[in-house]
Amino acid sequence: MLIIRRWFNRYFNNPQAVGLAIVLLLGFGIIIFFGRMLAPVLASLVLAYLLEGLVRKMERWGLPRLTAVALVFTLFFAALILILFALLPILTRQTAQLVEQIPSIVAAGQELLMRLPQEYPAWFSEEEIKAILQTLRSELMDFGQRILASLSLQSVVVLITFLVYLVLVPFLIFFFLKDKEVLVSWFAGYLPRERTLAASVWREVDQQIGNYIRGKFIEIFIVWLVTYATFAIMGLQFAMLLAVMVGLSVIVPYVGAAVVTLPIAAVAYFQFGLGSQFVYIMVAYAIIQALDGNVLVPILFSEVVDLHPVAIIIAILVFGGIWGFWGVFFAIPLATLTQAILKAFASLPDETEMQDTA
């Protein structure tokens, strides 16, 4: 009991610790209970974080904040229009073409599997391959039926949600950038007065979150551009669609790259077979992934606290399970925030230390 009492007095008899706990409970409670309703606000905050770095640079160049915000927002809106009217139609067309070819791709995969008992009789039997194919067919049919059902039921909802995002998100981004100081002061007025420890944690994490968001968007763009150029030069079908998938896969460290490998290998095999061109494409893709993980990521995220791969995977599983896509996207900064909170609590003086000091 003495140990428990000392632990409680150390962490919950300290006004700073109580203030930090209240701020954390308030933030997590809002996101857990109102996260879906506030999804446009979360998306706008992420993009505002992304653009804040450009606004600050222009302010350092001597531009007033309102002028810098207007210029950065105009560039952002132009890029958004370009994506909607240039990139989206290409992705839609290539997705439809890929869906049409899925039966042929599956048939080619079945043919490859059926050759395994003949080429490697010691490892595979014909009955095992047939059982595997039957399982795959049933799983694909169930998956396809679920997709069709979800699309037929939610297509209108998805369209309305997209239109709402299209209107609300740019509006919110502009005012988040324009009235940043006003909004921060207003929000701080409702927080506990004893929040020095919480403020120190936030100062430590704030810069890292901003660097992470900007670095992640830069990483997505570079990986997408390099992958598209590589696949287009090598003549791979659906180069733009696959490149976008590869670019977005960096949102989920380690796991994303492994998952995206499957459609790339399937398309390359269907188009070229198991020839030299297939090998070249897979080697090129492996080189892109290696350069991303060993060169690009260390450069972009040098100011973000290094985390062990096991910690990153655990953070993806935990926060992704709680908040879905946003939990996965913010897994690394949330893990960094958790680490900073633990360090802050660990730095609190012990009851015995305070008595010795007195």
pLDDT of amino acid 342? 72
Quickly state the pLDDT bin for 354 (edges 50, 70, 90).
Answer: very low
pLDDT of amino acid 355? 47
Residues 205-258 have pLDDT tens digits of: 776 777 777 788 888 899 999 999 999 999 998 899 999 999 988 887 777 888
Quickly state the pLDDT bin for 166 (edges 50, 70, 90).
Answer: confident
pLDDT at residue 6 is higher than 90:
no
In the chain, count of helices (H) and strands (E)?
16, 0
Domain boundaries, the chain: 195-348
What is d(CA 44, CA 170) in angstroms, rounded to the nearest whole number? 7
DSSP structure class, residue 182: H
What is d(CA 215, CA 221) in angstroms, rounded to the nearest whole number? 10
What is d(CA 251, CA 344) in angstroms, rounded to the nearest whole number? 28
